[in-house]
């Protein structure tokens, strides 16, 4: 629930489909699932609970559905935008018609006809205002593009007026895009470090994670991250003595150590060792002191070093570096 405030979790939304929309909607499976489950009589918290969806996923979906104009908040209080929206409306109309005084006067007149103030325009009336203003544009195509652009800027670029419990809608607009794949990275890091590349131990670590409610097979590089799950994994990693900080250059150090020890400084043997590593899928030329370390690659190299009787003890590597420098 990290991306939701307590008030926001109690907000209700309704579906909203524009009849004059010409562009296509874009929804993934989670968005579709949430969209069809949304009921203006149910709060976000209730919908998420019924659908058994993580709040991080719900927040991401709500943001995307809002941006596309597929949902609207409902309630006793009106959600309003401030003067920035009318200002943006004037600027864009001015850009199209080419006359500032005409564009500004047109917007002022339409707001006056609808008895609206520049400082507080209800969100529900934005489509009416935009349509009325766009009637001054003669080209149908430009008019349609103007309408779609102005409606898309509503959740993206306009600040919301503070109105009772709806003031937290602004927090939705400022929620950073949910991250993906970080959960898998942490899981892979725990497994790689704790198993040391041993398939049997690796399997045992996976079973332990499953018993704690985290199935490694359920996470991929495209899975949305849940802050609660990441917090649990960090706590587990700390208990297991696994360092989750990202390192650089360690892969190159291990590769150099293997080559130096096995070749004994002989250029011909050194070249042969490099070829052997390439055949095993590790190209020494691809790694530098600035390359991010991959736990899986390091685990493979450690296994290969053990098979070649190469000591990777940090003190031994440090001494070797001094001897061969």
Residue with tokens 């919301």: 160
pLDDT of the chain along its 325 residues, tens only?
A: 333 344 556 677 888 766 555 556 778 888 888 888 888 777 788 888 888 888 778 878 887 887 777 887 775 445 566 677 778 888 888 877 777 888 888 888 888 887 777 766 777 677 788 888 888 788 888 888 888 777 666 554 344 333 333 344 444 444 444 577 888 888 988 888 888 778 888 888 888 888 888 888 888 877 778 888 888 898 998 888 887 776 778 888 899 889 988 888 888 898 888 888 888 888 888 888 877 777 778 888 888 888 888 887 655 544 444 444 3
Rounded to the nearest 5°, which phi and psi values hold at 117? Answer: -100, 150
Predicted confidence at residue 156, as pLDDT, reads 41
Measured CA to CA, the distance from residue 304 to residue 277 in angstroms comes to 9
DSSP 289-318: TTSBP-HHHHHHHHHHHHHTT----HHHHH
Predicted confidence at residue 75, as pLDDT, reads 56
Residue 63: strand, helix, or coil: helix
The alpha helices in the chain, defined as continuous H runs, are 29-37, 44-51, 55-67, 83-97, 100-113, 126-134, 140-157, 169-173, 182-195, 199-211, 227-239, 250-263, 267-279, 295-307, 314-324
Cα angle: 231, vertex 201, 274; to 5 degrees: 100
Buried b (16+ CB within 10 A) or exposed e, 83-115: eebbebbbebbbebeeeeeebbebbeebbeeee
Measured CA to CA, the distance from residue 159 to residue 50 in angstroms comes to 32
Measured CA to CA, the distance from residue 309 to residue 175 in angstroms comes to 52
Q: For residue 240, how many C-alpha atoms fall within 13 Å in the half-sphere facing its CB?
A: 21
CATH number of 8-74: 1.10.10.10
Measured CA to CA, the distance from residue 83 to residue 104 in angstroms comes to 13
> For residue 55, which of 16, 91, 22, 8 has the smallest C-alpha distance?
8
Sign, CA dihedral 126-129-131-137, equals negative
Predicted confidence at residue 154, as pLDDT, reads 59
Residue 243 burial class via C-beta count within 10 angstroms: exposed 0-12, middle 13-18, buried 19 and up: exposed
Predicted confidence at residue 133, as pLDDT, reads 84
Q: Identify the helix (H) or strand (E) that includes residue 197.
A: none
Predicted confidence at residue 286, as pLDDT, reads 82
Please give the structure tokens belonging to residue 134: 């766009």
Cα angle: 203, vertex 204, 205; to 5 degrees: 90
154, 71 Cβ separation under 8 angstroms: no
Q: How far is CA 216 from the centre of its chain?
A: 20
């Amino acid at each position: 629930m990290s991306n939701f405030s307590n008030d926001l979790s109690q907000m209700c939304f309704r579906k909203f489909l524009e009849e004059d929309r010409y562009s296509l909607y874009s929804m993934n499976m989670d968005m579709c699932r949430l969209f069809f489950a949304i009921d203006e009589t149910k709060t976000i918290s209730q919908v998420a609970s019924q659908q058994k969806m993580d709040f991080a996923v719900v927040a991401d979906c709500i943001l995307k559905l809002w941006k596309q104009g597929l949902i609207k908040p409902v309630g006793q209080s009106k959600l309003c935008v401030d003067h920035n929206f009318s200002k943006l409306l004037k600027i864009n109309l001015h850009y199209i018609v080419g006359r500032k005084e005409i564009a500004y006067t047109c917007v002022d007149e339409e707001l006056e006809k609808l008895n609206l103030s520049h400082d507080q325009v209800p969100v529900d009336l934005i489509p009416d205002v935009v349509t009325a203003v766009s009637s001054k544009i003669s080209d149908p195509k430009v008019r349609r593009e103007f309408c779609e652009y102005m409606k898309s800027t509503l959740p993206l670029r306009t600040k919301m007026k503070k109105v009772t419990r709806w003031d937290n809608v602004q927090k939705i607009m400022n929620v950073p895009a949910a991250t993906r794949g970080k959960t898998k990275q942490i899981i892979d890091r725990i497994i790689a470090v704790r198993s040391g590349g041993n398939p049997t131990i690796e399997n045992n670590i996976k079973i332990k994670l499953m018993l704690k409610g985290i199935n490694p097979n359920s996470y991929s590089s495209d899975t949305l991250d849940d802050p609660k799950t990441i917090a649990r994994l960090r706590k587990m990693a700390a208990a297991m003595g696994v360092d989750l900080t990202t390192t650089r250059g360690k892969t190159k150090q291990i590769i150099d150590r293997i080559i130096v020890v096995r070749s004994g400084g002989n250029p011909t043997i050194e070249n042969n060792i490099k070829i052997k590593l390439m055949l095993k899928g590790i190209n020494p030329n691809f790694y530098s002191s600035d390359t991010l370390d991959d736990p899986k690659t390091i685990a493979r190299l450690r296994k290969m070093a053990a098979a070649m009787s190469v000591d990777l003890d940090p003190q031994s590597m440090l001494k070797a570096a001094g001897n061969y420098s």
